[in-house]
């Protein structure tokens, strides 16, 4: 059994796995950064609310909590990096592939891929960035078939083009839906095929 | 040219055809209102005579923009929406979201609340598996299992009604703990339910495992190999039914699962091959037994104390950051990927729902099966469309 260190799972295990994977991938020649959160996993007693504010006052560095992740230098590397993770590092299962629009002002979208290693029981988050104006990225659906539907969903919600995707149809939205609903600058439609949306 | 990812699994031989009659491919729409799709979902089947040549799943009929709503309302206001994705296991959905919010807050809830969470989550797992096995029987033409299953599920719903006032959408587990402590005598009622359930479980098992029709319609049907289950990111009974030893409760322990003893049930090819429709039902049946074991240990160990963390109020402002928290739902891995910028509204609430991933492989189990097996295969995935579409 993996050791539990927080009530939401073995975070230290996942963090160590991210460090290990970062070294292995760098050694294999890929350009990437390891992003480690700088707040403690569990806030000291009585500081859950104030910790962030005080940390901000004391230090100009951005503070954040949560998962460690790998940020790839080039989004074009994604299929090759994930294939390396699958074949060499033992991450046999892709549990999620999605995207995040950090804010209206952000010029980039974040792509997020979550992998699991069933032997070491660790999971690994691999991220990459693509510009909003030209959100084109190679699909990983041929490396992990599990990404097939996830990428179709991210494509229709964020307007990302996954090149080489085997089946790039819309998944959840109607075929004639205009706009990308999960982008932060999305404007709600007034009507859809004669049906008022207001 | 890239080939479809499914292509490499397509070398499985189809069924033997004794007499080759010239047939024409026929496209059949199964759904959106077909009862065996367990919600509104459409599967387009391509049939060559009575043998399926392909299938395509069309989702979206129940899409309610859960992720968009997640970025529009407060962290706590989003909680009732989580009830609505897998409405047969709403306690587990609440739990998954609450843990994700707590991971950004950096708050561990009081011990009594952790035990209460495990108790309601496991009770909900029993209720959900009862419904899954019962309706699966109904899909295949066996009426009796559903009625007996609903009888026991009703007892679980009554327990939930006593603790939180709701029977389907609970919002009982919340960021910071649980809504309220169990009323007096509630834990004793849980123990009484377990005593009764242990006896009736054997009744269900006989109705399933000794039922010739059920076995004929599920054994060796829709065989999902271990490699295929991994490649398609399956989880829960779908993954374990294919013989993979993986359970988040044991392998990524959360709450107090590391203090509890239970077995992870895997498919063994009980009536046919490992990974067939029968094995998935087999896993669900025996997981109920394990849930009873877990519940008994919880009832023994549960301490007294607070049930809500004092620092978590009505307005939640988690630390900036992003975190993925997954729990073992009755249907598999329910993950929430929450991104916070330190304000009271989330930047992103991504829901990785188990039915969505499990369903994506179902259309690849269809080629070579009989037309009538389509309902057996979809039913064995145990999808809840509220969760595939969100």
Quote the pLDDT of residue B2. 45
> What are the chain A neighbours of B390 within 8 Å (beta carbons)?
172
ipTM confidence score: 0.88
pLDDT average, residue stretch A21-27 = 89
List, in sequence order, every beta strand (DSSP E) within A32-185.
32-35, 65-66, 69-72, 93-100, 108-116, 123-131, 136-138, 161-163
Q: What's the Rg (C-alpha) of chain A?
A: 19
Quote the pLDDT of residue B1. 38
Contacts of B19 (CB under 8 A, 6+ apart): none
Out of A40-54, A66-80, B115-129, give the one with best mean pLDDT: B115-129
Shortest CA distance from A140: residue in chain B: B5
Q: How do the domains of chain B map onto residue ranges? A: 66-389
A93 within 8 A of A116, measured Cβ to Cβ: yes
Shortest CA distance from B353: residue in chain A: A96
Classify each residue of A12-39 as buried b or exposed e, where b means 16 or more C-beta atoms within 10 Å of its C-beta: ebbbebbeebbeebeeeebebebbebeb
Shortest CA distance from B332: residue in chain A: A95
> What are the chain A neighbours of B258 within 8 Å (beta carbons)?
1, 3-4
Quote the pLDDT of residue B23. 65
- Share of residues in chain A with pLDDT > 70 (%): 91
Cβ contact (<8 Å) for A4 and B258? yes
Cβ contact (<8 Å) for A41 and B106? yes
Cβ contact (<8 Å) for A171 and B59? yes
> Which of A4, A11, A65 is nearest residue B104 as measured by Cβ atoms?
A65
Query: CB neighbours (10 Å) of residue B316?
Result: 24
Classify domain A11-173 by CATH architecture.
2-Layer Sandwich (3.30)
> Which of A64, A96, A181 is nearest residue B319 as measured by Cβ atoms?
A64
Cβ contact (<8 Å) for A9 and B325? yes
Cβ contact (<8 Å) for B322 and A51? no
Quote the pLDDT of residue A98. 93
Quote the pLDDT of residue B50. 83
Quote the pLDDT of residue B287. 92
Contacts of A99 (CB under 8 A, 6+ apart): A109, A110, A111, A112, A154, A157, A158, A160, A182
A70 within 8 A of A18, measured Cβ to Cβ: yes
Quote the pLDDT of residue B4. 54
Quote the pLDDT of residue B32. 81
Three-class SS of B154-191? HHHHHHHHHHHCCCCCCCCEECCEECCCCCCCHHHHHH
- CA angle B117-B121-B125, nearest 5°? 170
What is the band of A197 on the pLDDT scale with cuts at 50, 70, 90?
Answer: confident
Cβ contact (<8 Å) for B339 and A100? yes
Quote the pLDDT of residue B210. 84
Q: Is the pLDDT of residue A13 over 80?
A: yes
Instruction: Tell me how close the Cα of B105 comes to any Cα of chain A, in angstroms.
Output: 6
B275 within 8 A of B229, measured Cβ to Cβ: yes
- β-pair partners for B205: none
Query: In tens digits, what is the pLDDT along chain B, a chain of 390 residues?
Result: 345 555 544 455 555 555 566 667 888 888 787 766 677 888 888 888 788 888 888 888 889 889 999 999 999 899 999 998 888 899 999 999 999 999 988 888 899 999 999 999 999 999 999 999 888 888 888 888 888 889 899 999 999 999 988 888 898 999 988 988 889 899 999 999 999 998 889 888 888 888 888 888 888 888 899 998 999 999 999 999 998 999 999 998 998 998 999 999 988 888 888 889 899 999 999 999 999 999 999 999 999 888 888 877 777 888 888 999 999 999 999 999 999 888 888 999 999 999 998 988 988 888 888 888 888 888 888 888 888 888
Cβ contact (<8 Å) for B321 and A4? no
Quote the pLDDT of residue B118. 93
A85 within 8 A of A124, measured Cβ to Cβ: yes
Quote the pLDDT of residue A147. 92
> What are the chain A neighbours of B335 within 8 Å (beta carbons)?
95-96, 114
Instruction: Tell me how close the Cα of A125 comes to any Cα of chain B, in angstroms.
Output: 9
Quote the pLDDT of residue B311. 78
Calpha distance A145→A93 (Å, rounded):
10
Shortest CA distance from B338: residue in chain A: A66
Instruction: Tell me how close the Cα of B302 comes to any Cα of chain A, in angstroms.
Output: 16
Instruction: Tell me how close the Cα of B214 comes to any Cα of chain A, in angstroms.
Output: 30
B233 within 8 A of A144, measured Cβ to Cβ: yes
Calpha distance A9→B105 (Å, rounded):
15
pLDDT average, residue stretch A54-66 = 70
Quote the pLDDT of residue B294. 93
pLDDT, tens digit, for every residue of A125-172? 999 999 999 889 999 998 999 999 999 999 999 999 999 988 888 889
Cβ contact (<8 Å) for A66 and B322? yes
Cβ contact (<8 Å) for B320 and A101? no
Classify each residue of B218-233 as buried b or exposed e, where b means 16 or more C-beta atoms within 10 Å of its C-beta: bbebbbbebebbbbbb
Contacts of B147 (CB under 8 A, 6+ apart): B134
CATH superfamily of B66-389: Cytochrome-c3 Hydrogenase, chain B (1.10.645.10)
Greater model confidence, A54 or B52: B52
Which one of B111, B224, B324 would you mutate to disrupt binding with A, by most A Cβ within 10 Å of its Cβ?
Answer: B324
> What are the chain A neighbours of B103 within 8 Å (beta carbons)?
6, 8, 11, 65-66
> Which of A6, A101, A170 is nearest residue B108 as measured by Cβ atoms?
A6
pLDDT average, residue stretch A75-91 = 90
B234 within 8 A of B357, measured Cβ to Cβ: yes
Instruction: Tell me how close the Cα of B227 comes to any Cα of chain A, in angstroms.
Output: 9
Instruction: Tell me how close the Cα of A97 comes to any Cα of chain B, in angstroms.
Output: 9
Q: Classify A90 as helix, strand or coil.
A: coil
Cβ contact (<8 Å) for B318 and A182? no
Q: How do the domains of chain A map onto residue ranges? A: 11-173
Total CB pairs under 8 A between chain A and B? 182
B296 within 8 A of B241, measured Cβ to Cβ: no
């Amino acid at each position: 059994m993996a050791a539990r260190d927080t009530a939401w799972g073995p975070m230290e295990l996942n963090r160590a796995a991210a460090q290990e994977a970062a070294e292995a991938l760098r050694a294999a020649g890929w350009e990437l950064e390891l992003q480690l959160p700088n707040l403690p996993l569990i806030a000291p007693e009585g500081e859950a609310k104030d910790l962030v504010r005080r940390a901000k006052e004391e230090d100009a560095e951005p503070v954040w909590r949560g998962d460690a992740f790998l940020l790839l230098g080039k989004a074009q590397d994604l299929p090759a990096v994930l294939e390396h993770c699958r074949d060499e590092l033992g991450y046999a299962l892709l549990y999620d592939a999605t995207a995040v629009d950090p804010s209206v002002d952000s010029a980039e979208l974040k792509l997020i891929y979550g992998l699991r290693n069933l032997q070491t029981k660790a999971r690994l988050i691999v991220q990459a960035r693509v510009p909003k104006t030209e959100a084109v990225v190679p699909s990983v659906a041929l490396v992990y078939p599990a990404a097939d539907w996830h990428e179709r969903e991210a494509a229709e919600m964020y307007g990302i083009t996954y090149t080489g995707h085997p089946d790039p149809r819309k998944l959840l939205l109607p075929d004639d839906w205009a706009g990308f609903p999960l982008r932060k600058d999305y404007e709600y439609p007034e009507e859809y095929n004669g049906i008022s949306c207001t | 040219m890239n080939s479809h990812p499914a292509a490499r699994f397509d070398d499985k031989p189809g069924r033997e055809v004794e007499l080759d009659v010239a047939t024409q491919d026929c496209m059949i729409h199964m759904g959106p209102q077909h009862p065996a799709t367990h919600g509104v979902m459409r599967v387009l089947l391509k049939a060559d005579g009575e043998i399926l040549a392909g299938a395509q799943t069309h989702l979206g009929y129940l899409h309610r923009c859960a992720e968009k709503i997640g970025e529009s309302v407060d962290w706590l206001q989003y909680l009732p929406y989580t009830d609505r994705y897998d409405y047969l296991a709403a306690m587990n959905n609440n739990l998954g979201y609450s843990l994700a919010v707590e991971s950004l807050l950096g708050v561990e809830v009081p011990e009594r609340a952790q035990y209460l969470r495990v108790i309601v989550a496991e009770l909900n797992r029993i209720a959900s598996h009862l419904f899954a096995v019962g309706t699966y029987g109904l899909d295949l033409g066996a009426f009796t299992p559903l009625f007996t299953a609903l009888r026991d599920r009703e007892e679980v719903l009554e327990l939930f009604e006593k603790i939180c006032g709701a029977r389907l959408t609970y919002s009982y587990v919340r960021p910071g703990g649980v809504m309220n402590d169990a009323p007096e005598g509630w834990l004793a009622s849980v123990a009484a339910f377990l005593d009764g359930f242990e006896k009736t479980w054997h009744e269900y098992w006989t109705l399933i495992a000794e039922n010739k029709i059920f076995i004929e319609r599920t054994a060796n049907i829709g065989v999902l190999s271990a490699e295929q289950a991994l490649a398609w990111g399956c989880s829960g009974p779908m993954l374990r039914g294919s013989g993979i030893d993986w359970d988040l409760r044991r392998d990524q322990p959360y709450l107090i699962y590391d203090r509890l003893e239970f077995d992870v049930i895997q498919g063994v090819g009980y009536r046919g091959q490992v990974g067939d429709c029968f094995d998935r039902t087999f896993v669900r049946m025996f997981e109920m037994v394990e849930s009873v074991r877990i519940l008994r240990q919880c009832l023994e160990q549960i301490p007294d104390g607070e049930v809500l963390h004092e620092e978590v109020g009505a307005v939640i402002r988690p630390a900036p950051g992003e975190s993925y928290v997954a729990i073992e739902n009755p249907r598999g891995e329910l993950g929430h990927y929450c991104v916070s910028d330190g304000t009271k509204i989330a930047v992103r609430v991504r829901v990785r729902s188990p039915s969505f991933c499990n369903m994506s492989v179902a259309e690849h189990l269809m080629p070579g099966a009989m037309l009538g097996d389509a309902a057996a295969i979809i039913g064995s995935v145990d999808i809840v469309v509220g969760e595939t579409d969100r």
